Amino acid sequence: MARLSCRFPPRQEAVRVGGDEDAALAALVKRAIPDVMHLFSETRSTARYEYTAYPALPDVLHKPSKQEPDQIWEARPAYTNPAYSMRAAQKDVKVTALDVNAAYLSALKVWLPIGRLEHTTGMDGVGPKRSGVHLITPAPWTHPHLPDPLGDRDTPGALWITDATLRLLLRLSGPKWALTEAPTVHESWTSGATENFLDALRKLLVAARAEAIAAGDRLTLEYVKSMYSKFVSTMGESVHNREMVRPDWMHLIHSQAFALHCGRAYKAHQAGLDVVALKHTDELHVTGDWRQVFTEGRGVSEMKIKTGDGKASGEYLVGKVGG
């Protein structure tokens, strides 16, 4: 097994509880946060960059209250193509629902700020080796057949986004895609950044996940999933993880997962597939031969057919609206 040098390896935990895998998994999930923080510390022991676990952060990165939402818009996709419907009179278009593997694990490869966040105005805080959050006014999105890179947003006007979302918007405004105009950046909180800060941890967990899949080891697979998902979800302002308070990183990783997901939809469209739906971090529904675009499998760079009891899972039929 890849170097999961936590205090108790998964199989050892199963032996401790008399071979009861469900009991072992419950115990491992409870310990996932301290274990993944231990792994994170190990991977940082020879790292080039130091980091601050409790940095001074601008107000925009602090949650106003338990009842109020975060001020950073992470651009979570919630897209359904208005040209297709499962309620159409004639349903003759086959759709395949695809599932992304380990979306948040892949999103650990993201530009993260490593210094004190500095306030700038205009484009002064935008650069290939800077990261943080930006107040922007986006250009209109005029493509109903494609998901909006800002996700399901009802309120127009300026909004705070992460650097991961801004990078996506700038790519889509460039000559390769030319799908939108570049947003107007009003102000930013950024610092110098690196894309490799969490890469050693990511590679370790990717390798452990791949070995668990190859061995049919459900216990280790679920343990790894719990570690990376809890690492991301508790690195902000969580009572469950006192070792780190980095809401900026949490927002960046979330929005990186969503940006990567939008990228899959645009890639499918460019290859001639129609995008029927794009949801959450891991659900993409397309028409056409998806295997010509994506590799099928359970690896982190692969896609698999979504299984489930819902009508919109596996392969299903829709019809053209007004067709």
pLDDT, tens only, 118-159: 999 999 999 999 999 999 999 999 999 999 999 988 888 999
Determine the Cα angle at 261 with ends 271 and 276, to 5°.
Answer: 60
Residue 228 has pLDDT above 90, yes or no: yes
CA gap 281, 92 in Å, rounded: 28
Residue partners of 282: CB distance under 8 A and separation at least 6: 99, 100, 101, 103, 261
Nearest to 178 by CA among 169, 186, 165: 169
Q: Are 109 and 206 in contact (CB under 8 A)?
A: no
Q: Are 130 and 318 in contact (CB under 8 A)?
A: no
Q: Are 79 and 152 in contact (CB under 8 A)?
A: yes
Residue 254 is predicted with a pLDDT of: 98
Chain mean pLDDT for the chain: 91
Higher pLDDT, 54 or 47: 54
- Helix count and strand count (H, E) for the chain: 8, 13
Lowest mean pLDDT among 18-32, 258-272, 297-311: 18-32
CA gap 8, 3 in Å, rounded: 12
Residue 233 has pLDDT above 70, yes or no: yes
Strands of 149-282 (E only): list them.
159-162, 184-194, 275-279
Residue 290 is predicted with a pLDDT of: 98
Q: How confident is the model at residue 1 (pLDDT cuts 50, 70, 90)?
A: very low
Lowest mean pLDDT among 34-48, 169-183, 226-240, 259-273: 34-48
Percent above pLDDT 70 for the chain: 94
Residue 8 has pLDDT above 70, yes or no: no
Interval 99-122: pLDDT, tens = 999 999 999 999 999 989 999 999
Q: Are 249 and 114 in contact (CB under 8 A)?
A: no
Q: How confident is the model at residue 320 (pLDDT cuts 50, 70, 90)?
A: very high
Q: Are 308 and 285 in contact (CB under 8 A)?
A: no
CA gap 259, 171 in Å, rounded: 11
Q: Are 224 and 9 in contact (CB under 8 A)?
A: no
Residue 6 is predicted with a pLDDT of: 55
Interval 251-273: pLDDT, tens = 999 999 999 999 999 999 999 99
